[in-house]
């Protein structure tokens, strides 16, 4: 039998207990549930068909299937003998043009000749003023002509030097173009990744734009899945996510972030395409693997069970 004091204590605490229970239930209801998406598939985040950039015979191939390459690494080289000769010729012509542009001797000589002719005319004029008829008019005319000629020759020399500087720029541009053409004979990896297919071999003829090899990026990889339009409403890029794979009885889980939510809804099945980028530095994941994708809208990484 409950004593009166115990009954009074129970009645006093009951409202508080019920309040705490109500708050806990409300919080649990407000907390968004994790979304479990079965049949998610691992795909490549990036794959590149590396093309030839010039026509010719493939001279060397430095990689094979399975090799890991870095961005900018030279994977192969086209026959570039003619391109190298063109670069050598352009370098020589550019050097000659620079030497002509830097040569000031002709302009300096014309400047000194013009100054000397002008001084000689000035002396003749001063002599004529001091001593009448000491210098004939024809001699003065000749000296004026020499002074004018010297001035014009100096201007012409400066003009030719300016033209030589412009020619040097043109030759420098031609050298850059020749080097660019030589660079186009190299087949370089545009991004880091693994070579999975070498399509052309040494001695074969290739055309510009023809794929020579294929590179795939294995880190990060992408997990693609489809969710209903209703489930997609609460998703945002950046939501925490995890992907569970099960193969041979072993279970692995990789954490990542929701990266993409398609703005389009499939009119047939009402689903929305999404994907999650996952790190794969250790090579655990491979394109084609299937598993369960778990997305937590609140940002809390939920545990993943084996149920689909």
Predicted local confidence at residue 258, as pLDDT:
93
Predicted local confidence at residue 96, as pLDDT:
94
Question: Mutual orientation of helices 137-183 and 81-102 as an angle, nearest 10°?
Answer: 150
Q: Rounded to whole angstroms, how far apart are CA atoms 258 and 223? A: 9
Predicted local confidence at residue 251, as pLDDT:
57
Kind plus residue range of the DSSP H or E element containing 243: strand 240-247
Cis peptide bond upstream of 228, omega within 30: no
- By CB atoms closer than 10 A (0-12, 13-18, 19+), residue 219 is middle
Predicted local confidence at residue 247, as pLDDT:
63
Q: Quick check: helix, strand or coil at residue 267?
A: coil
Q: Rounded to whole angstroms, how far apart are CA atoms 221 and 96? A: 54
* Residue 194: strand pairing partners: 68, 216
Cis peptide bond upstream of 30, omega within 30: no
Rounded mean pLDDT for each run of 10 residues along the chain, 308 residues in total? 51 42 41 80 93 95 94 95 96 94 82 84 78 78 82 84 91 96 96 93 95 93 93 89 72 85 93 92 86 76 42
Q: What is the pTM of this model?
A: 0.64
Q: Rounded to whole angstroms, how far apart are CA atoms 169 and 32? A: 67
């Amino acid at each position: 039998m409950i004593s009166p004091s115990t009954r009074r204590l129970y009645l006093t605490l009951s409202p508080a207990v019920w309040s705490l229970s109500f708050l806990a239930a409300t919080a649990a209801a407000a907390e968004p549930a994790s979304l479990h998406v079965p049949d998610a598939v691992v795909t490549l985040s990036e794959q590149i068909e590396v093309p030839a950039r010039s026509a010719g015979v493939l001279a060397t191939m430095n990689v094979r299937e399975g090799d890991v390459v870095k961005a900018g690494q030279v994977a192969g080289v086209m026959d570039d003998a003619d391109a190298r000769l063109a670069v050598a010729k352009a370098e020589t012509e550019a050097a000659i043009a620079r030497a002509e542009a830097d040569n000031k001797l002709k302009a300096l000589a014309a400047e000194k000749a013009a100054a000397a002719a002008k001084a000689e005319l000035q002396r003749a004029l001063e002599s004529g003023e001091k001593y009448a008829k000491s210098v004939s008019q024809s001699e003065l005319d000749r000296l004026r002509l020499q002074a004018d000629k010297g001035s014009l020759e100096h201007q012409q020399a400066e003009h030719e030097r300016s033209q030589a500087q412009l020619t040097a720029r043109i030759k420098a541009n031609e050298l850059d173009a020749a080097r660019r053409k030589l660079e186009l004979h190299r087949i370089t990896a545009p991004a880091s990744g693994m070579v999975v297919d070498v399509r052309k071999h040494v001695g074969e003829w290739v055309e510009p734009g023809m794929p020579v090899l294929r590179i795939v990026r294995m880190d990060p990889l992408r997990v693609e899945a489809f969710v209903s339009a209703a489930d997609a409403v609460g998703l945002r890029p950046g939501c925490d996510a995890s992907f569970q794979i099960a193969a041979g009885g072993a279970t692995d889980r990789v954490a990542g972030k929701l990266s993409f939510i398609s703005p389009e809804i499939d009119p047939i099945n009402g689903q929305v395409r999404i994907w999650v980028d996952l790190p794969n530095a250790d090579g655990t994941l491979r394109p084609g693997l299937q598993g369960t994708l778990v997305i937590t809208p609140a940002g809390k990484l939920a545990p993943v069970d084996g149920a689909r």
